Chains A and B, each alone.
Chain A
Amino acid sequence: MKGRDIVSIKELSKEQILAILTRAEEMKKNPPGSLLKGHLMASCFFEPSTRTRLSFESAMKRLGGEVIGFSDAGSTATQKGESLYDAMKMIGFYSDVVVIRHPLEGAAKQAAYATNKPVINAGDGANEHPSQTLLDLLTIKECQGKMEGLNIAFVGDLLYGRTVHSLALALRLFDCRLYFVAPSLLAMPDTICQQLRQAGVPFSFHQSMEDVMDKVDILYMTRVQKERFANQEEYLNVKDNFILTSRMLEKCQKQMKVLHPLPRVNEIDVSVDATPFAHYFNQAENGLYVRQALLAMLLGK
């Protein structure tokens, strides 16, 4: 893995994914100390982010490395019209590994062309966010004790959510059964379904969480945003089908866990937090270990 870019989850083989997860588990169990002392990470956030930026920076610093960077494009020369290519080429000279979040799709790929230092995509528009997918996979593995043959439901906005697209595609390697629960306006896009079909992944579409609640091992929640609907009435008609309350969990299997990429607004009622099914904060914590594992592996440590 040394020196490679992590631009898209689709570029990683099953063996590579499992190697990253194993390394992340080791990092979690036995914090390795100053493994990355003397290494410098450039944290290039062209749009705001809290969890992703802070967990990457925390991951680097906890491993003894240093961080340079910026947290919004306003403070960079791109405001003066500098191309992303030029900016990333230069930043590549200053650092050992580059983490980039950018509002345009394909920006991380362009960054990877610009510099020969390893580039990690921390989100390029609506396209990909591979470290999120890896932390989702780690969390699934950890809470279910396995990854193969699980029943996994995706709930909410499945049209625009890059996390659900990447995770669904990654799960094609693990022989899982998928359930897509979304208002028809926000259904899983055709291009993703086509790729899943080609890979022989069984999946089905549902309008309400109740349909799948007793069947699944993982309930992966995302937020249905009001702004996605043409009118308020349409939103009000469907919104309750996509809000999880502790009462709805009565039917579910014992081992079931609720995940969410966060931030949540109201799609998971706070009453769920106290149930044994809530696992989204553990999931967010795993972001740290996955990013530590990625940084160490790409830097050859």
Chain B
Amino acid sequence: MGETQLSVAAIENGTVIDHIPAGQGMRIVRLLKLADHKKKVTLGLNLPSKSLGYKDLIKVEGREVSEEEANQIALFAPKATLNIIRNYRIEKKFAVTLPTTISKILTCPNQQCITNHEQVQTQFRVSRFGHRVMLHCDFCEKGFAHDCY
């Protein structure tokens, strides 16, 4: 917890997602639907960070993000850490890990994929080729580098 945390109000109960690469904060709010519950969400963008240079940070009041949910965003924020806050105290702290499948939150970059033409819950298999992370759509079977998403 550094100075950056003090610049926005502390939360009573909820989640702090820290160490998000600068530029990814808004996307993560959208993907995890963090602002959909009409409670306070504080988004810090381009905050100074020792490890990342600049980072984004999200504080969500009244919602505890599970490890499973958090892992879904590991693609965009591989070093993100989550703090679960209860009664202003850190109850639990964990880092995200890349899951083997990513469901629902991504759309397939292949415009010819059925998932872009009707309401379907998408599912992608995650695989690593050396340093590259590839995602394969379960429907159209096409593979894409993670930065296509």
Residues on A facing B (Cβ under 8 Å): 8, 10, 83-85, 102-107, 109-110, 124-128, 191, 194
Given A104-B113, A106-B113, A194-B129, does the pair A85, B118 have CB atoms closer than 8 Å? yes
A106 touches B143 (CB 8 A): no
Say if the beta carbon of B117 comes within 8 Å of chain A: yes
Q: Can you list 24 A-B pairs, Cβ within 8 angstroms, ordered by A?
A: A10-B141, A83-B118, A83-B119, A84-B114, A84-B117, A85-B118, A102-B114, A103-B112, A104-B112, A104-B114, A105-B112, A105-B142, A106-B113, A106-B115, A106-B137, A106-B138, A106-B140, A106-B141, A109-B138, A109-B139, A110-B118, A127-B142, A191-B143, A194-B129
**Known contacts A105-B140, A105-B141; can you find 20 more A-B pairs with CB under 8 A?**
A8-B141, A83-B118, A83-B119, A84-B114, A85-B120, A104-B117, A105-B112, A105-B113, A105-B139, A106-B115, A106-B139, A109-B139, A110-B120, A110-B139, A124-B114, A125-B140, A127-B142, A128-B141, A194-B129, A194-B143
Q: How far is the CA of A8 from the CA of B115 in the complex (A)?
A: 17
Shortest distance between the CB of A116 and any CB in chain B (Å): 18
Q: How far is the CA of A109 from the CA of B118 in the complex (A)?
A: 13
Q: Which 6 pairs show the lowest CB-CB distances between chains A and B?
A: A106-B139, A105-B140, A106-B114, A106-B140, A191-B143, A104-B114
A191 touches B142 (CB 8 A): yes
B121-149 with Cβ < 8 A to chain A:
129, 137-143
Q: How far is the CA of A184 from the CA of B66 in the complex (A)?
A: 47
Shortest distance between the CB of A6 and any CB in chain B (Å): 14
The dominant DSSP class at the A interface is: mixed
Contacts of A126 in B (CB 8 A): 112
The residue on B at minimum CB distance from A191 is: B143
Contacts of B137 in A (CB 8 A): 106
Q: How far is the CA of A84 from the CA of B115 in the complex (A)?
A: 11
Q: Which of B114, B137, B138, B143 has the most CB of A within 10 A?
A: B114
Say if the beta carbon of B110 comes within 8 Å of chain A: yes
Contacts of A107 in B (CB 8 A): 114
Contacts of A110 in B (CB 8 A): 114, 118, 120, 139
Shortest distance between the CB of B123 and any CB in chain A (Å): 10
Shortest distance between the CB of B143 and any CB in chain A (Å): 5
A109 touches B114 (CB 8 A): yes
Q: How far is the CA of A105 from the CA of B119 in the complex (A)?
A: 15
The residue on B at minimum CB distance from A104 is: B114
Contacts of B115 in A (CB 8 A): 106
The residue on A at minimum CB distance from B143 is: A191
Shortest distance between the CB of A49 and any CB in chain B (Å): 17
